Chains A and B, each alone.
Chain A
Amino acid sequence: MSGLAPPAVRVRAATGSAGGRSGSLGWMALPALAIFVAFGLVPLVGVLALSFTRWDGIGAIHPAGLDSWRTVLTDPGLPHALWVTFLVMALSWAFQTPMSLLIGVFLAGRQRYREFLAVLYVIPLLLSSAAIAITYKALLDPNFGLGAGLGLPFLVQDWLGRSGLALGVVVFVVSWQFIPFHALIYQGAVRQIPVTLYEAAQIDGAGRIRQFLSITLPQLKYTIITSSTLMVVGSLTFFDLIFVLTEGGPGDATRVLALDMYKRGFQANLMGPASAIAVILVLAGLALALLLQRLGGRDASASQLEGA
């Protein structure tokens, strides 16, 4: 017992000196810190302050106490917007994860045609959200869109005019845009899995599906968590695409929280309530990111190769 103590002390000393070394390099973090303070913290504090005021965006700012918060929290629109935000988040996660996982695993092979396909698959990622939304809007137009043009009656639906359909379209288009990105992450992760694992499995007589379920999937655990975090937290900021595609409509069927904030702030000129919603969005994002980290376990950020 006592023999083990000295090394432990030595280890502690080592970390101490390591800390000292990084301390001497701490000034290198200053630019990043300055940018974070200027463009992250200051606006955040500003928004928090604005949420306790009454302001129409161009006139004088009047203190209003908890008025905005009361307005927002008692508005039946808030639970609805939260629900829609959650739905878009959950559905697009549920749609994107398996799709990008499969595409990523498929693309991780080394044949040349896959590299060609990989280039094709990544195209949606290169387009701007606004362009995607405009294109889909034109394609889905019930009178002049794809269905009418090709004479396919089942494609002639009131895609963006019926609540359920519009939500489905939003989820689909969002997924269409972001699946390439997540597939790319999975592709990279799959290529990191040591080939020896598969070789061993083959010797044991495991088929492709068995290999996928017993090796690929478990090895991708942390990638799944990373990708899910990006999807879930990212979905809180879905704005441009939905704004152009449906403007939150029909009615408020696709009005997610970020869109609600924009509409209150810049269309109805209610900056106070809009700021309150912005604060809620920040808190929701933080809570979700923390929750996902927890789900991933404490070692989520550890190297994945160590276990191999």
Chain B
Amino acid sequence: MAHGSMSRRNFLNLAAGAGAGVALASCGSSGPSQGGGGAEASYWFLTAAPGEVIRKNAVSRFNKANPDNQIKPTAFENDAYKTKIRTALGAGQAPTIIWGWGGGGLKSWVEAGQVDDLTDWFAQNAAVKDRLFPSSFGAATVNGKIYAMPCETVEPIVLFYDKRAFDKIGAEPPQSWGDIMDLVPKFNAKGIAPFSLAGQSRWTNMMWLEFLFDRIGGPEVFQAVFDGQKDAWSHPAALDALGKVQELVRADGFVKGFSSVVADANADQALLFTGKAAMMVHGTWTYGQMAEEGGNFVSGGNLGYMNFPPVDGGKGDPSNTVGNPAQYLAISTKSSAEQKETAKKFFTTGVLTDEESAEWLDTGGVPIVKGSESKIASSKDPAFLKFVYDTASNAKVFAQSWDQALSPTAAEKLLDNIAKLFQLSITPQQYVDNMNQVIGQ
């Protein structure tokens, strides 16, 4: 059952996988719609359940309420979208409303003059800004100016686990890094992989480093990299964290063949809910998918979750987390005045409406609207939502995922080296040397 829908998704992803070809093809189809400069605004975002449906619903509600301001939505698969959007921006064919992750990607659009400065608009429409989590604006801000509208949900990365697996070995979820290393041989002896990991996707591996860097050295270690300090990767905490990851790989901490597992097919989640793996470090956005495809895994109360445990002797605050503080909507400078007007109207009346917020809550997402906590109690899974809400709001530092915080140039190098680190084909020192070369790029 789970596998059936997985390969269906695979098949859908295939179109996106073709990458450049598809990008070019859809350029042609979407180009004319805005080339005319009509009032219809275009809006590109990501596929994948449950977000795609909710995004489409939001647009159709807006279109129904505003017959004169129509929005035409188009959805793309994750990895292909990142390429597609840049190609479109470069070719002057970008949609009016650009969905994104903020951070380094948004910064590069801003530097190229491709997205509108919304600072003044937010100042004039204080109500739009004031109803959202203040923390969500960090990744939308470049050089003190706001270039994007935060939207959707807050998505910290957490440690998911299968309670059934822990029952089988008669152990408790790990409270420290030491516990994790102790659990590894116990699970392996029972034929259960300790951790699920979609290693081929690379950014999945990155989540481990994000936590280990933070727990060992605190958020300052990566912040120094982000700030472009010379040789920032050479921090002793970095070397320690990189070494620990390789220790875990050598101890068979990850599922066998993890380098062949792909996140876009959700195979990593399937490993967890089919009982093949005991734990998984992943974003809270995977919850909806696991609830939908995992049979009674979530509904039967088998899914456990916790913040990433501390490392003994580490400096980082154990409440710290990383992930997506929100998602972001930017407006292309190339759009017509009417299209921009439609987009802003959408930001004011169409984004995170009560209906949309309720839909996010139903799928296990915490919308970035103030007052969401009061609605959590009446939602489908109050316990999980409260956990997400608390993790996000109690975090001393909520860092943005590295590949989104850094420039695309540095992020590509980062993901490349992380993959090699997990492959054990480079040493921690080589990783540090390689990454020091691209600091500030």
Asked if A269 meets B419 with Cβ closer than 8 Å, knowing A144-B270, A160-B200, A249-B200, the reply is: no
Q: Is the CB of A244 within 8 A of B260?
A: no
A36, CB-defined interface residue at 8 Å = no
Q: With A and B bound together, what is the CA distance between A240 and B265 in angstroms?
A: 18
Q: Is the CB of A244 within 8 A of B259?
A: no
Look across to chain B and name the residue whose beta carbon is closest to the beta carbon of A131: B14
B171, CB-defined interface residue at 8 Å = no
A65, CB-defined interface residue at 8 Å = no
Q: Is the CB of A266 within 8 A of B86?
A: yes
Q: Is the CB of B412 within 8 A of A263?
A: yes
Q: With A and B bound together, what is the CA distance between A138 and B15 in angstroms?
A: 15
Q: Is the CB of B257 within 8 A of A143?
A: yes
Q: Which residues of A contact B257 (CB under 8 A)?
A: 142-143, 156-159, 161
From 210 to 269 in chain B, residues with beta carbon under 8 angstroms from any chain A beta carbon are 255-262, 265, 267
Q: With A and B bound together, what is the CA distance between A141 and B267 in angstroms?
A: 9
Q: Is the CB of A252 within 8 A of B200?
A: no
A60, CB-defined interface residue at 8 Å = yes
From 4 to 21 in chain B, residues with beta carbon under 8 angstroms from any chain A beta carbon are 6-7, 10-11, 13-15, 17-21
Q: With A and B bound together, what is the CA distance between A59 and B409 in angstroms?
A: 14
Q: Which residues of B contact A251 (CB under 8 A)?
A: 416, 419-420, 423, 425
Q: Is the CB of A134 within 8 A of B11?
A: yes
From 39 to 66 in chain A, residues with beta carbon under 8 angstroms from any chain B beta carbon are 56-60
Q: With A and B bound together, what is the CA distance between A163 and B14 in angstroms?
A: 23
Q: SS class of chain B's interface: helix, strand, loop or mixed?
A: helix
A162, CB-defined interface residue at 8 Å = yes
The one of A144, A160, A262 in contact with B19, judged by C-beta atoms closer than 8 angstroms, is A262
A267, CB-defined interface residue at 8 Å = yes
The one of A158, A243, A269, A270 in contact with B259, judged by C-beta atoms closer than 8 angstroms, is A158
From 174 to 204 in chain B, residues with beta carbon under 8 angstroms from any chain A beta carbon are 199-200, 202
B304, CB-defined interface residue at 8 Å = no
Q: With A and B bound together, what is the CA distance between A149 and B259 in angstroms?
A: 19
> Distance in Å from the Cβ of A149 to the closest Cβ of chain B?
9
Q: Is the CB of B10 within 8 A of A137?
A: yes
Tally of chain A residues near chain B (CB < 8 A) = 42
Q: Could you give, for residues 129-163 of chain A, a 1 whenever the CB lies within 8 Å of some chain B CB and a 0 otherwise?
A: 11101100110111110000000000011111111
Q: With A and B bound together, what is the CA distance between A39 and B109 in angstroms?
A: 29
Q: Is the CB of B108 within 8 A of A56?
A: yes
The one of A57, A59, A162 in contact with B87, judged by C-beta atoms closer than 8 angstroms, is A57
Look across to chain B and name the residue whose beta carbon is closest to the beta carbon of A148: B276
A168, CB-defined interface residue at 8 Å = no
Look across to chain B and name the residue whose beta carbon is closest to the beta carbon of A158: B257
B278, CB-defined interface residue at 8 Å = no
Q: Which residues of B contact A142 (CB under 8 A)?
A: 256-257, 260-261
Q: Which residues of B contact A57 (CB under 8 A)?
A: 86-87, 89-90
* Contact sample, A vs B, 26 pairs, CB 8 Å cutoff: A57-B87, A57-B89, A57-B90, A59-B111, A59-B114, A129-B18, A130-B14, A130-B15, A131-B14, A134-B17, A137-B265, A138-B10, A141-B260, A141-B261, A142-B256, A143-B261, A144-B3, A144-B6, A159-B260, A240-B18, A243-B17, A244-B19, A251-B419, A268-B409, A269-B86, A269-B408
9 smallest beta-carbon distances between A and B, as pairs: A161-B259, A142-B257, A59-B112, A268-B412, A158-B257, A244-B17, A160-B260, A161-B260, A58-B112
Seed contacts A134-B14, A141-B260, A144-B267; 16 additional CB < 8 Å A-B pairs: A58-B112, A130-B14, A130-B15, A130-B18, A137-B10, A142-B256, A142-B261, A161-B259, A244-B18, A249-B259, A250-B419, A267-B82, A267-B83, A267-B408, A268-B413, A269-B407
